[in-house]
Structure 1
């Protein structure tokens, strides 16, 4: 059995492969072709590089900034109408408020999502409400007023 012929750059490439770098990144660092990196990767019987998948939560948090310790402002992409949006997975664009609602409640929102706080621009998960939440809130206030009247409390 003959020993395989090592690529002259293998000693430089191998440590970077172990750091889970992409072929393109290694090629840029070493001023070589990504094809050379792919060949060394294959020679070392390492699997092809796979781009790590960023979670929706991570992507959302990367594009927000906390304000007043509670509220969040969106620093990412916006539509022409200035609606905060992000791209993720198969969905081309999803509003940041829908993502925030899903992160807080663990379910898809029903209807429009709007902040419940006084900050119109807020995207903090704790400040978001969908149509069902808002309808429930509007129904609760008259019930509380009626109960208070029965009890003689103002």
Structure 2
């Protein structure tokens, strides 16, 4: 019995049409993204790109470009999430090749460190994703300590 009934010995299937690849290339898709979407080989996509003289694939988006594409300004200086959401409605984004909570990714980008504990908006609006409004556990603890020092136990 032939272990490869279609005659393929290795590599990814190439059952997609050239027209489908061309359409996605002209729409600005990357070689890897198109290959993944159409279940074909990236070398095939790259060869078609070269034949069409479309130039190199677009560059990887920066964090700021990705962030701007999935957020919009809201009232009072807040920022509303318009992108993908997880199972419980949590804003989600792929950042540095990993699927993150969008708030964690924004916190890490702004502060240059991974957050400790959950990240929540400290501004009072639960839907806010403005990086400057996000706080992790040590930031919330420090704020509680400061408020207690100023206003006493009633502030805690």
Q: TM-score, normalised by structure 1?
A: 0.62
Instruction: Assess if the C-alpha contact under 8 Å between 1:23 and 1:38 holds in 2.
Output: no
* Cα distance per residue 1:87-114 (max 9 Å; x no partner): 13321x1111112212332322111100
Secondary structure in 1 aligned to 2:83?
coil
Match of 2:13 in 1: none
**Who wins on radius of gyration, i.e. which is larger?**
1
Match of 1:9 in 2: none
Structure 2 residue 132 is the aligned partner of structure 1 residue 132: no
1:65 corresponds to which of 60, 66, 72: 72
Secondary structure in 1 aligned to 2:84?
coil
Secondary structure in 1 aligned to 2:60?
coil
Match of 1:96 in 2: 102
Distance 2:24 2:75 in 1: 42
Secondary structure in 2 aligned to 1:65?
strand
What is the number of equivalent residue pairs in this alignment?
Answer: 113
Distance 1:103 1:115 in 2: 15
- Per the TM alignment, residue 69 of structure 1 is displaced from its structure 2 partner at its CA by 4.7
- Per the TM alignment, residue 40 of structure 1 is displaced from its structure 2 partner at its CA by 6.5
Distance 1:88 1:100 in 2: 9
Listed as ranges, the gaps of 5+ residues in structure 1 are 1-21, 27-33, 147-154
Match of 1:25 in 2: 26
With over 3 angstroms needed to count, the CA separation of the structure-2 counterparts of 1:40 and 1:124, relative to structure 1, is closer
